Structure 1
Amino acid sequence: MKKILLLVCSVMLCTSIEAASFETAKDAVKNMGVGWNLGNTLDANDATKTWKTTAEHETCWGQPVTKPELLKMMKEAGFGAIRVPITWYQEMDADGKVNDAWMKRVKEVVDYVIDNGMYCIINVHHDTGADSGNYKSWLKASTSSYNTNKAKYEGLCKQIAEQFKDYDQKLLFESYNEMLDEKNTWNEPVDKTDGYKAINSYAKSFVTTVRATGGNNKDRNLVVNTYSASSTPDAMQNLDLPEESNHIIFQIHSYPSWQNKSNAKKEIDNLISNIKSKLLDRAPVIVGEYATFTTWPSEIDYYAKDKEVALYAMDYLIQKTKENGIGTFYWMGMSDGSYRDMPAFHQADLAQTLIKAYYGSIDGYKYPTADDFEIVYDISYNDEWSELFLFGSWDRTAVNLSGYKGIRVEMDKAYGNKLQIKVYGDKKSGTDFNEQYAPLSDTSASTTVDFDTSILGSTFWGVTLQTNSGALTATLKEAKLIKADGTEEPASVTAAWGCTVTAKSTPKPTGIHAIQLIKTEADGAIYNLQGQRVQNPQKGIYIQNGKKYVMK
């Protein structure tokens, strides 16, 4: 009997020590550093389709299947946390049980993050949000929706919690993404009493359900969002703390409406002030989504429109959030589409800006770009008129044509009029654009198309490679925009619709791999040919201030 009692006491002691070792939510936010969203991937969805494989689901919005190398790249670039948005409704049966294959795939991606030593946040994403076309979210911020879906929602939360209850403190659960009322109202509900009551009911259900699964979930840090993840003072003020503990984090999202540096600073200062007065006095806070672009009420990409303002704002935001103990997760840019397959950054200077703002330096971090790889793109067109983006995306801001002359495309062979370049120009109304078409060469693998302003107007926002001959496979070797001065810049290749694209990349044999610095002055750092910083170089070849040196 004494031995049994001793064993029981030992087990209880170990459990107590394990729970006590979980860091507080405040410490977790601090230790995350700079975060990034693996967006449009596990959160992608299409209400008109039933998925046969998890890969079909994961790639339906044009992103490639996520590989561990992508998360390794983010870690080596200085990012300390990854938010993995996940949409569940298409992977649940009539009783609310999640498909085993989908849960397994979610676990694989979570492990990619955790295995690289980063924090990971998983959530319930496009099960919420605005309705459109065939899509209608099943989680609404209304008392009626909550009463109808309470059991199903808590059942989903329980399945997620049970799957991951043995993971340590670096895995966090998030309750829901941007939950709107029945009228799909952004920022604040139409019926504030009912909308805010529903949000707090969902948050309470989430926390209570997770805690009840036991194990590490009793003390896991949990994230709850404001109504629509809104950053308005009213939405912040009306989010209740769902439990009295030091393991709850509040989340809001913030997208810009800058005009210039002064306006950007004012907007960021106002955001920080509201967070401090409405949320931060009750629990730590993360800005779970922010970016240099906005899609509502107007489509503006400041990185493309005014990069100087965009990078200034990102630098200032990161400095101010760190200063006030607020976490940040950039929404999905920096590495997008086929760049994730390499993996590489298509906005390396943006990634560098965030990391430098937080740590004061980017020394020792790596930022591979497309220039570091030899790349070909294998394209599978499923339908006639399917399109592959060579530039832009469906929510891209228009770019002034005065800065560009055309586009050059290099294929693996001549395709003739089986494929054509389609350029989207000025928007006429709704989704109606001025459009220019040009077939690929029927005698050469290389085709150059000059932009025709008499057709397009003064702007263009997208260039695609379109099939007009039904299902087709093709290989794209290179696509470059031709600027007004005759120089070229790489296009950004992503699937538009009706096709899949796979980037096959091989690192160029350039000695040092993927080090790009914002600094213009030499910093004297020494690197080996693998791109690793060396404090005390021995015999061999090294890089210092962009030049090779031989140490004898």
Structure 2
Amino acid sequence: MKKSYQIISGILALSMFCTAFTGCSGNDLQTDSFVPTERPVEILTSETAQEEEENAMNKPEMKPVAETSLPETEHISPTETVTSVLGTQIDVDAVLNRDSVEDSGKNYSMPLSRFIEDGDLVTSFTFIFYSADGKSSIGTYKGGCGISVTQDCPSATNKGWYQSDDFSVQADGAYVEVTWNVPAEIQNFIPKSGTVQIGYWWGDTTEVRLQNVICNYSRKAEIPVDNTENIAVGQNLNYSSDSTNTISIPLADVLGNDGTPQAVTFEIASESALGKFTGAFGMNGNEWYMSDTVAVFTDASNLSLTWIIPEEVKNTLSESPELLFSYWWGKPENIVLQSVTIKYSTGRVFYTLEQEQEPSEPLDEEALKADREKASALVANIKVGWNLGNSLDSYDKRSGTDEDYETLWGNAKTTQTLIDTIKKKGFNAVRIPVSWTNHLDENGNVDGLWMERVQEVVDYAMHDELYVILNMHHDDFTWLTPTKDAETEVTEKYVKVWSQIAEQFQDYDEHLLFEGLNEPRVIGSPNEWTGGTAEERTVINHLLQKFVDTVRSSGGYNPNRTLVITTHAASISDSALDGLRLPNDGNVVLSIHNYAPYKLTTDEFPDVRSFDDAGKYELKQEFDKLYEKFVSRGIPVIIGEFGAEDKDNATVRSAYYAYYVSQAKERNIPCFVWDNGAKDSYGLLDRNSCTWYYGNIADAVINAVNS
């Protein structure tokens, strides 16, 4: 996980830097327990995503802020290809047992997404082991490595996988470094979505502890470059002290008012061989950003390190940017940062966006804080929820009766008995997905019989005193396209529908929540499930504000109702999370859909049926990200959808569901199980008989939240 730190006056205690589908459409592993970090509530406003909005939404209709008659021009920077050769180190702390009867006991897997981006060339891995007790001699380490490869890899040893030959490495007492040089013939076929695995077959000690994994790779990027500036630094860094291991370099004078850093090269030197350089890079935006630990092995006394600046940093650049460089360990205690070379682009012009309406009046900080506390308190009352999937959200591009639509995708009509069954099992919330698309006339009016049926189902849950999330579901597949060209028409229709929903349910109390969007995205686009484009994210932000304004301006309890918002496609990707512009309202909850680890949870990979350490690690990292970015700052989060499709692995799925819910619970994030009613898919409950297909899985979920 990228480490983010709040900006406090000046540089935040530098010692912190050293603490080394689809729902309906489809570092440190020392312990599984999570200790929340106490943070002051940070008031995040719509300004968080302002730069992205201004850049994305005003083409080709851009107008300069200044009222002049100057021609509208767009600066286009020349480009350069930059290569970065680095190693990323992740702390693991996992025990491997050579005598384990389970493969998972003698193997350790990690998601490649912790190290690389798509397109990176992976050259080697180094695994740092100690004997489990820290004293016993390992002797000769015998084992092997494996890694995911794409289906078209001609050198794969199995479909989608490459397994190395067994190897032996002589240990230095209780310590051994195992380096696996990735064969050149597979380096171009390694996907970010895969895993890397190390196995321990034999040694003089039964158990070894995997302390760290270092992935060495090269990354190429074509970046816009208008200028290159070299800054002479000449400053000594000493890893032994928090006050001497990090240097901050102001960039405002270099970048000016319109410069954006694209790549930075650090030149370092020492009086002796570096051996292994360990450190990190950072820069301040809306928050301090620190890279994962950088680790590079070298016998030289000089080292050049190039950092290609992530988009999430460039998109939130501070007005007074500073560059950080940290030295955490190496053979020499002291090194010298000789110079820094910055490649940057210019022409970052700020534009205003023409608005049809005046923006909502901003809330004062105290009111915003109070509303967030209210939303957080409500979310705290939700233990775990269940999705009534593939029922009221069923749709088709034809006409039919309302009951036809509810049962169109194979599920029985929802009854009070069904909802009673959910409550009896221990769920205290239900999400009711609704597709309105087939029930609207040409003017956006909702069919009265359909609205009554939706209300009837909501009343079933209200009768059982459950929390209910009512949403707009597959409309994002049929007509709600978040593009600038479609925005005006989509917004008009969207507001019309939500006005009617709000009016129909205005007298329901706080147990009813409205969810404005499901998985908003552009269908079939290259980034459909990975965060979309800046333009798409900005239109979604506009729609969310319209949703909030529409509900708040209606009657009854609606001015006080807790509302649910989401990111592009409800994605947990960094670009989706960073591109979210929170509405000007504190009584909102963020919903994310997270079917991770993806290969386990989807039938696209029928042979992936086990839930291993790599999957656990991935989940923990993602929950940590949600906690750090939102929960710790008073912005409540729910997992609106999660689950794993049946692969004749009910026991594994039970363990997966339990682990998922327990990890989320530790971070105060309630989860809603996705259930589409299909036994061979995500279905847990037989809706015809109101009995459980997989009662063991449902029990595992309930036990996890009650433990």
Report matched runs for 1:118-517 at 5 Å: 118-129=466-477, 137-181=478-522, 183-184=524-525, 185-190=527-532, 192-245=533-586, 247-256=587-596, 257=598, 258=600, 259-280=610-631, 281=633, 283-293=635-645, 301=646, 304-332=647-675, 336=683, 339-360=686-707
2:695 partner amino acid: A
Which residue of the other structure, out of 437, 450, 458, is the alignment partner of 1:89? 437
2:697 partner amino acid: L
Distance in 1 of aligned mates of 2:562 and 2:595 = 25
1:243 partner amino acid: N
Residue 56 and residue 333 in structure 1: after superposition, are their counterparts in 2 closer, same or farther (change >3 A)? closer
Give the Å deviation of 1:23. 8.2
Distance in 1 of aligned mates of 2:627 and 2:490 = 33
Deviations 1:231-261 (A, max 9, x none): 112211211210232x100011011324532
Deviations 1:282-324 (A, max 9, x none): 510011000013xxxxxxx4xx343333222211111111111
Give the Å deviation of 1:343. 1.0
Larger CA Rg, structure 1 vs 2 = 2
Distance in 2 of aligned mates of 1:287 and 1:342 = 28
Residues 531 and 573 in structure 2, CA contact (< 8 A), matched pair in contact too: no
Distance in 1 of aligned mates of 2:484 and 2:675 = 32
Give the Å deviation of 1:333. 5.2
Residue 317 and residue 140 in structure 1: after superposition, are their counterparts in 2 closer, same or farther (change >3 A)? same
Give the alignment's TM-score, normalised by structure 2: 0.44
Residue 91 of structure 2 is matched in structure 1 by none
Distance in 2 of aligned mates of 1:326 and 1:337 = 22
Give the Å deviation of 1:85. 0.2
Residues 385 and 671 in structure 2, CA contact (< 8 A), matched pair in contact too: yes
Are 1:54 and 2:413 an aligned pair? Answer: no
Give the alignment's TM-score, normalised by structure 1: 0.56
Q: Secondary structure at the match of 2:557?
A: helix
Residues 261 and 313 in structure 1, CA contact (< 8 A), matched pair in contact too: no
Give the Å deviation of 1:78. 0.3
Q: Secondary structure at the match of 1:128?
A: helix
Q: Secondary structure at the match of 1:93?
A: coil
Residues 288 and 328 in structure 1, CA contact (< 8 A), matched pair in contact too: yes
Distance in 2 of aligned mates of 1:220 and 1:22 = 12
Deviations 1:33-70 (A, max 9, x none): 110000000000111x201x211110000001101000
Distance in 2 of aligned mates of 1:305 and 1:76 = 26
Give the Å deviation of 1:278. 2.8
Residues 372 and 634 in structure 2, CA contact (< 8 A), matched pair in contact too: no
Residue 485 of structure 1 is matched in structure 2 by none
Gaps in structure 1 of 5+ consecutive residues = 1-19, 130-136, 294-300, 361-552
Distance in 1 of aligned mates of 2:685 and 2:502 = 32
Residues 402 and 450 in structure 2, CA contact (< 8 A), matched pair in contact too: yes
Distance in 2 of aligned mates of 1:100 and 1:357 = 41
Give the Å deviation of 1:22. 12
Gaps in structure 2 of 5+ consecutive residues = 1-369, 601-609
2:375 partner amino acid: A
Distance in 1 of aligned mates of 2:423 and 2:685 = 19
Distance in 2 of aligned mates of 1:289 and 1:123 = 13
More helix by share: 1
Residue 63 of structure 1 is matched in structure 2 by 411
Give the Å deviation of 1:179. 0.9
Distance in 1 of aligned mates of 2:371 and 2:423 = 24
Deviations 1:431-456 (A, max 9, x none): xxxxxxxxxxxxxxxxxxxxxxxxxx
Fraction of identical pairs, as percent: 34
Residues 548 and 585 in structure 2, CA contact (< 8 A), matched pair in contact too: no
Distance in 2 of aligned mates of 1:224 and 1:354 = 25
Q: Secondary structure at the match of 2:671?
A: strand
Are 1:25 and 2:375 an aligned pair? Answer: yes
Give the Å deviation of 1:182. 5.8
Q: What root-mean-square deviation, in Å, do the aligned CA atoms of Structure 1 and Structure 2 show?
A: 2.1
Higher-RCO chain (CA-CA 8 Å, sequence separation at least 6): 2
Distance in 1 of aligned mates of 2:623 and 2:577 = 12
